[in-house]
Structure 1
């Protein structure tokens, strides 16, 4: 392979025309690029900041083998690559003068690219997180369910959603602040939210989902404030949005969990989610 086998563009429509079939071929594994590129398609090139998002595809003999995206504020995100192709991409990006804050991909790809980037730039990669991708098998709602029920959030709930998404982002160590003023630029702004409410109408837990793309819907985030935990609300609201996704026609319902959080992983597996692959993130310091 050669570094120039990687084709880079800032044109979302052209990228989708050439790489869309590849992304749709494995919608669960490609959940992140599918949703990021859909946002670019619907909201325009400034969807992630003042500078355009860079999109890339690895192409040989007219066939797309892998893709990446690099938003102005994010780490490089990759679909699975072997070490040779990761090194080719590092060579291509360094040759173009790109400076990367980090990389996020399946565990082996992220490690291979981080090593290649360090070898070519001297930049030291620092492990940041490890996430486990789950795909829903047979949904198994918790029994018994906690008292209350799910309710789709509306306009009147916006302030509550912003507050809880901000608390969630802080809890998982995301750098970007989530406030009313920054909301439109956050990764939460395009989600659809559901509350679990107690019988008196008190919201006690929240789950968001992406719009359906290529038959897949991703559950993200799931958040219960500390004062409401240990009552089964997170399991209930996750089951509720998972059921709704299936009812809407989704063929793949997926979510990410912190691989180091045994309680969250056990919860999702009880609901019928099956592990697919681990993802890793590295910061380049």
Structure 2
């Protein structure tokens, strides 16, 4: 262990042996590291080690205080909440890695970005603000639009691909989505529900992660532009949230763009409570 108390490893099993209980202690707050580490654990070392990942845990007095991960040599740093002093120690430790970005709760991301600039000369730019929600008491919106939620099946794949291409374009994600690439996208391992009208026409969709650490994250939620404003997004979000609880989730989380007042108001109406503000800083020399 180094004097700064950050333990680094390239082995996901080593990280989870040290810090798995810590990540599961606050499953909604740790939603992204939980799903990321579970995906890597499932892939196995041979599949992920070629990408030169690095993981780390902050350990003091026999307790884990924080976790970070970088999945690939060109990937951003993900980091659980830390103090500015611990963010600075980590920035000094990782200064040789050439990170393109950091993603963390806003205060932690800001502290790390400022330290990264001091240690590397890279200029941070705030590129993304996002709000993390945790489900309180699920409440169906009134009135509920006519129709029902339906689990997406194999026969829906083309519809699923098309809506994800539209969703990615809406949020500015540069990703190719088709039958060949689907499994390698961040969407490919999720479980989906459509809201469909009484005649069986799909009008909205929501996805959810598999349960991990007692947590499920709802992601993404999408309604085509010409069908918005009719209550479909609220209905499908409630349907997939119920499915998450039925699958055994003790905590259900979701992210929302804080600039989108409509979606934020909707999530609060159906029982989601703001947990923290999130930020991504890009680094450029």
Q: Do the aligned residues in 2 keep the contact of 1:125 with 1:284 (CA within 8 Å)?
A: yes
What pairs with 1:31-42 in structure 2 (closer than 5 Å)?
A: 31-42=31-42
Residues 231-250 of structure 1 aligned to structure 2 (within 5 Å): 231-250=230-249
The CA deviation string for residues 242-284 of structure 1, in whole angstroms up to 9 with x for no partner, is 1122222211111010011111100000001111110001111
The Cα offsets for residues 26-70 of structure 1, whole Å up to 9 and x where unpaired, read as 101000000000001112246669514221111123221100111
Distance 1:158 1:108, change over 3 A: same
CA distance 1:177–1:282, change in 2 (3 Å): farther
Name the residue aligned to 1:89. Answer: 90
The CA deviation string for residues 114-156 of structure 1, in whole angstroms up to 9 with x for no partner, is 0001111111111111111111111110122111111101112
Distance 2:44 2:235 in 1: 36
Relative to structure 1, the CA distance from residue 179 to residue 284 in structure 2 (aligned partners, 3 Å threshold; closer, same or farther) is farther
Structure-2-length-normalised TM-score = 0.94
In structure 2, the residue matched to 1:28 is 28
In structure 2, the partner of 1:202 is: 201
Name the SS of the counterpart of 1:218 in structure 2. Answer: strand
Judged with a 3 Å threshold, the aligned counterparts in structure 2 of structure 1 residues 146 and 46 are, in CA distance, closer, same or farther, namely farther
C-alpha displacement at 1:179, in angstroms? 3.1
Q: Quick one: distance in 2 between partners of 1:210 and 1:45?
A: 22
Q: Which residue of 2 aligns with 1:113?
A: 112
* Structure 1: tracts of 5 or more residues without a match: none
Q: 1:43/1:141 Cα in 2 relative to 1: closer, same or farther (>3 Å)?
A: same
Aligned residue-pair number: 283
Contact 1:13 1:41 in 2 (8 A): yes
CA 1:170–1:269: 2 relative to 1, 3 Å: same
* Cα distance in 1 between the residues matched to 2:53 and 2:122: 22
Q: Counterpart in 1 of 2:124? A: 125
In structure 2, C-alpha distance between the alignment counterparts of 1:77 and 1:67, rounded to whole Å = 8
Q: CA separation in 1, counterparts of 2:224 and 2:3?
A: 47
Superposed, 1:121-160 pairs within 5 Å as 121-160=120-159
Alignment-derived partner of residue 182 in structure 2 = 183
Rounded to whole Å, the distance in 1 between the matches of 2:49 and 2:12 is 15
* Contact preservation (8 Å) 1:169, 1:177: no
